[in-house]
């Protein structure tokens, strides 16, 4: 089913007209969190990428320090369109320029528990698939370098299995949402290509 999400301010008319399907809505109750905080009604906008090579492997970012994996992506900056943020995040986190870009859908995260240390209560991630183009090298942030982020290639099935294995780990509030978000995205993408 097609829906229209809330868009960041600099989203282009073309981006607003794309076919956006809701992949998942993730809430505190999904993890048994129920200590609500006062809502601030601020939304954080993100992009996430499923970049797949011709051999079927996808590129994910691995934290060598903590061992978890996530789909490449991150926050949309105030001056960026959705596509501009996607191109920047893809280059920074995977080291590739991307081509054959297709919108897949979006994920809504409602982080309304006191455990949420961010200044926002909701995150909307716009999800795309793309192919790798020219390799230009990564450009990680200081925090990402501190975790020894590294792009790796993995089968979609192995990535899903890894995210499923991490579903039971609830010691990290933010990690619960990130893991579930990427699991739902990967499962949805698999359903599209099967």
How do the pLDDT tens digits run along the chain, 194 residues long?
Answer: 556 789 999 999 999 999 899 999 999 999 999 998 887 889 999 999 999 999 999 999 999 999 999 999 999 999 999 999 999 999 999 999 999 999 999 999 999 999 999 999 999 999 999 999 999 999 999 999 999 999 999 999 999 999 999 887 767 899 999 999 999 999 999 999 88
Give me the pLDDT at residue 8, please.
96
Neighbours of 151 (CB within 10 A): 16
Which CATH architecture is the domain 13-193 placed in? Alpha-Beta Complex (3.90)
Q: By three-state DSSP, how is residue 16 classified?
A: helix
181 CA to centre of own chain: 7
Task: Record the pTM.
Answer: 0.95
Q: Domain locations in the chain?
A: 13-193
The residue with tokens 């090579």 is: 53
CA atoms within 13 A on the CB side of 54: 1
Q: By three-state DSSP, how is residue 149 classified?
A: strand
The residue with tokens 């499962």 is: 187
């Amino acid at each position: 089913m097609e829906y229209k999400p809330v868009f960041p301010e600099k989203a282009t008319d073309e981006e607003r007209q794309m076919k956006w399907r809701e992949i998942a809505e993730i809430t505190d109750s999904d993890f048994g969190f129920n200590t609500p905080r006062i809502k601030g009604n601020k939304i954080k906008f993100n992009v996430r990428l499923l970049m797949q090579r011709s051999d079927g492997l996808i590129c994910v970012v691995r934290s060598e320090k903590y061992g978890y994996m996530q789909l490449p992506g991150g926050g949309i900056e105030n001056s960026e369109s959705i596509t501009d943020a996607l191109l920047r995040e893809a280059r920074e986190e995977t080291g590739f320029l991307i081509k054959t870009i297709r919108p897949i859908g979006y994920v809504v995260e409602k982080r309304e528990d006191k455990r949420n240390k961010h200044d926002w209560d909701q995150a909307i991630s716009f999800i795309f698939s793309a192919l790798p183009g020219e390799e230009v090298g990564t450009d990680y942030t200081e925090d990402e370098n501190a975790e020894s982020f590294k792009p790796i290639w993995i089968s979609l099935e192995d990535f899903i299995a890894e995210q499923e294995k991490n579903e039971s780990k609830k010691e990290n509030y933010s990690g619960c949402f990130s893991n579930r978000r990427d699991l739902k995205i990967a499962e949805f993408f698999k359903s599209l290509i099967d």
